[in-house]
Amino acid sequence: MPDVSVVGAGPNGLAAAAVMARAGLSVELFEAGKTIGGGTRTSELMQPGHFHDICSAVHPMAVASPFFKAFELSRRINLITPDLSYGSPLDGGRAALAYRSLDRTAAGLGHDGAAYRRLMAPLVDRIDAVMDFTQNQLLRIPRNPIAAGIFGLRTLEQGSGVWNARFKEESAPALLAGVAAHAISHQPSLAASGAGLMLGALGHAGGWPIPEGGSAAIAAAMAEDLVAHGGVIHTDAPIDRLEDLPAARATLLNVAPQGLLNMAGNALPGRYRGALESFRYGNGSCKVDFILSGPVPWAAKELADAGTLHLGGTRAEVARSENEVNAGKHPERPYVLVAQQSRFDSGRAPAGHHTLWAYCHVPTGSTRDMTEAVTAQVERFAPGFRDLVVESTAITAAGLAKYNRNYVGGDFSAGTMDMLNLVQRPVVSRVPWRTPLRGVYLCSSSTPPGPGVTGMPGYHAAKYALQDMFGLSVPALGLAAA
C-alpha cells in the first residue's frame, strides 16, 4: 500500500503529490481522464497541428505563486512573456494597454496615468508580500501587515461604488474592469476587485507568461518530478468512493465539495456534510476556440502584441455584462477573455494559420453555444475577423461540467467568488484543507486560496498532511534539491 493516495491530476493534485513524494513517501495519483492536467491540458481540438489549451491559457501565477517559485517552474519549461501583458480595446480603434513596465503603462493612460500609477505602484513594489497574503487563507495574521493593509484598502476602494473616483477618462477603468472580471462575480465587488488588483500587479511585476507548447507543459513538468521521486500516476482511473482507493495513511482529494460528498457519503459528520451541501458554486463559462487563416486584425494595432485581451468595452459595459450573468441572463454583448498564444508560440499552428482561445461567462449550467456572441465581440474590435475563421468549436457550461467533475455547472473556479465563499472555502476553519475524516484532505480550488493555476491548494493540503500524519515538514522543491 502507498503512504499517500491522491485523487485528481490537475495542477493542485500534482502539486500535492509532488510535495509528498519529495518528502520520501510512496505516492499513487489517480486521474479519471485519459490524460493528466485537469485545467492545464492542451489538445488538437479540430485539425492536426493546431494546438489549443482546453482550459487555462496564460499564467501570471506560474512565476509568482509561492509553490511554483519554490518548484522553479520557470527553469523547467519555457515561459514566453509578452511585454504587453494584456489590453482592453475600446470603440473607435482605441485601447487601454497594460505593459510589464508600470511607467510605460501609465504614460499611455493620458490624464489618468499618474492616478493609475499611485494605485498600482505600492502593490507592484510589494508583490511578494501581496502574493503571500492572497495565496493563503484569509483567516490568518498576514506576515506583512503593511502590504496586506495597502492591498485591503485598494480592494475596498475598487470594490465599491467609488471605484471611478480616481479617474477622469475611460482607459484606466477599462484595464481594471478587464482583470476584475476574471473572478466571474458581481461588479463592483470586493472579491472581483481583489482578484483584479492582484492580477494587474502581476502584469506589471513579472508579466503574464504563456507556456511554450501549451499549458500541458506545466502538468508535464510536475508529473515528471513526481515520477522522478517514485510517484506512480494512474490515468483513466476514476475514483467514485474512498473505499476504491488503497488504504494509504494520507489521502488528498483534488475534488470539489460535491465530489467529497459523493465519495465519502455518510462517513462525514452531519455538520461538516451540511456545510459541503450548502457550498455555493458560481456561474459558468462557454469556451470557444478558433482556427484562423491569419492574425486577428485589431483596429488598435498595438493589441497584436498582447498575450491576453479583455473584450467588453468600458468599465460600465463590462460591469453590465457580468451583472447580467449574475442575474441569470446571457449577455448580448458578453465580456470575452481572449488569448492569442500562436502570436508568440509558432508551434501552436502551421505556417499561415493561427489559433485563438476565448471564453465568455454564462449562467450556471447553461447549454447555450455562445460562438456567435463571442465572434461578434471580437469583430466589434477587429473588423474583418469573421473572414479569417477557418473553423471553430465550442464547449458550453454544461459541457464543461461533463468534462471535469470539479466544474459544477461549468464553474471552473470551483466555488462562487465572493467574500463569504473566500472565507468559507469550503468551511470556516483555521485549516480548511483538513476534513473530519482522519488522514483525508481536500486540495482543490474549492479550498484556499481558490482558483487559478497556482498549485497552492495542493501545497497547503500536503503541508498539513505531512505534519499531521507523518510528523514531517515540507521538503525543498527546487531543481537544486532534486
Q: Are 394 and 387 in contact (CB under 8 A)?
A: no
Residue 481 is predicted with a pLDDT of 78
Burial class (CB in 10 A: 0-12, 13-18, 19+), 271: exposed
How far is the C-alpha of 357 from the C-alpha of 56, rounded, in Å?
A: 10
The DSSP-derived string for 384-431 is TGGGGEEEEEEE-HHHHHHH-TTSGGG-TTSS--SHHHHHSSSSS-SS
Q: Are 26 and 4 in contact (CB under 8 A)?
A: yes
**What's the rounded mean pLDDT across residues 204-227?**
97
How far is the C-alpha of 476 from the C-alpha of 482, rounded, in Å?
A: 8
Q: Are 425 and 450 in contact (CB under 8 A)?
A: yes
Cell numbers representing residue 5 in the block? 493516495
**Sheet strands (E) in 312-384:** 336-339, 354-362
Q: Are 424 and 408 in contact (CB under 8 A)?
A: no
Q: What is the DSSP letter of 335?
A: -
pLDDT at 421 over 80: no
Cell numbers representing residue 358 in the block? 476565448
Single-letter amino acid code for the residue at 466 = L
Neighbour count for residue 230 (Cβ, 10 Å): 13
Give the phi and the psi of residue 179 in degrees, each rounded to 5: -75, -35
pLDDT at 371 over 90: yes
Burial state string for 277-297 with b = 16 or more CB within 10 A and e = fewer than 16: eebebbbbbbbbbbbbeeebb
SS3 label, residue 280: coil
pLDDT at 17 over 90: yes
Q: Among 140-149, 384-393, 436-445, whose mean pLDDT is lowest?
A: 140-149
Give ∠ CA 267-272-273 in degrees, rounded to 5.
60
Neighbour count for residue 33 (Cβ, 10 Å): 17
Residue 138 is predicted with a pLDDT of 82
The distance of Cα 369 from the centroid of its chain, to the nearest Å, equals 22
pLDDT at 482 over 90: no
Q: Which of 246, 279, 258 is nearest to 404 (CA)?
A: 258
pLDDT at 419 over 80: no
What pLDDT digit, counting tens, does each position of 58-82 carry? 999 888 999 999 999 999 999 999 9
**What's the rounded mean pLDDT across residues 325-334?**
97
Q: Which residue has the higher pLDDT, 387 or 417?
A: 387
Residue 413 is predicted with a pLDDT of 87
Residue 140 is predicted with a pLDDT of 83
How far is the C-alpha of 183 from the C-alpha of 180, rounded, in Å?
A: 6
How far is the C-alpha of 272 from the C-alpha of 290, rounded, in Å?
A: 43
pLDDT band at 319 (very low <50, low <70, confident <90, very high): very high
- Which residues make beta-bridge pairs with 359? 287, 337
What does pLDDT average to over the chain? 96
What pLDDT digit, counting tens, does each position of 27-45 carry? 999 999 999 999 999 999 9
- Angle between helix axes 113-125 and 127-134 (nearest 10 degrees) is 70
How far is the C-alpha of 184 from the C-alpha of 324, rounded, in Å?
A: 11
Cell numbers representing residue 9 in the block? 491530476
Element (H, E) at 180: helix 171-180
How far is the C-alpha of 161 from the C-alpha of 158, rounded, in Å?
A: 8
How far is the C-alpha of 90 from the C-alpha of 63, rounded, in Å?
A: 30
What pLDDT digit, counting tens, does each position of 451-480 carry? 999 999 999 999 999 999 999 999 999 998
How far is the C-alpha of 140 from the C-alpha of 406, rounded, in Å?
A: 27
pLDDT at 422 over 80: no
- Which residues make beta-bridge pairs with 210? 80
Residue 480 is predicted with a pLDDT of 81
